[in-house]
Amino acid sequence: MCDSSNAQQSQSPNPKDLDTRIAFTQKAIDETQATIRALDAKAVALLVFLVVPLTAAVHLRDGMRALALASYSHFWLMVIAWVVAAGANLLTLGAIASPADRVPGDHPSGTYFGAGLYRLSFLDLLPWTHTKAVHGTTEWLARCPQTQADVLWELAFEQIKLVYIRDVKMLRLKLAYYSVFAGLVAFVGAAFRLSGI
């Protein structure tokens, strides 16, 4: 049987405990955001690695033709690996659609990152559109967390969404790296066949 004093404590923790939990969650958000930025930086570096050979493709045309003739399967494995790596890398750099939909249960208002403040469309790409915020200042302030417990709930929701974004980006970047490795192995295999080793 549950002790009523324990149940009461879990529903309304003391302010010091809330301060600690808020600080912890904010630090976790900061660390997760830093990891996401690092993953994006790695993806940009990999994109440069993938694009630079294309700039020399005209000069390498005869060499690539020789590789393709020496080992057709290695050549196409290399091409497929490059396409997969480039696609996974671009997906890593792209936005993750609706991370809030991945969080089960009740959601807070989403004011931490301003969720749903503007409803944008493709027309908003044009410079003369005048999209207005969905909520005015008074409504927005009313949606903001009113208590420390509300702040903690909002922060926890944002942390869960960020972890999803981090994990998806990490998975996509791993696919890109593995594809680059497979492409390099195929290139080396084709080069050995071309050289007759």
**How confident is the model over 84-123, as pLDDT tens digits?**
999 999 999 998 888 888 888 888 888 887 777 888 888 8
Q: For residue 73, is pLDDT > 90?
A: no
Question: Could you say which DSSP state residue 110 is in?
Answer: -
Cβ-based neighbours of 33, under 8 Å, separated by 6 or more: 162
| Integer Cα distance of 79 and 183 in angstroms | 7
| Integer Cα distance of 159 and 85 in angstroms | 29
User: 3-7, 126-130, 149-153: which range is least confident on average?
Assistant: 3-7
Q: For residue 156, is pLDDT > 70?
A: yes
> ∠ CA 74-77-82 to the nearest 5 degrees?
125
Question: Could you say which DSSP state residue 194 is in?
Answer: H
Average pLDDT in the chain: 84
| Integer Cα distance of 41 and 31 in angstroms | 15
Q: From the DSSP assignment, how many helices (H) and strands (E) are in the chain?
A: 6, 0
| Integer Cα distance of 167 and 99 in angstroms | 11
The residue type found at 67 is L
Q: For residue 4, is pLDDT > 50?
A: no
- Per-residue pLDDT band for 56 (boundaries 50, 70, 90) equals confident
User: pTM value?
Assistant: 0.79
Residue 7: its pLDDT value, please? 40
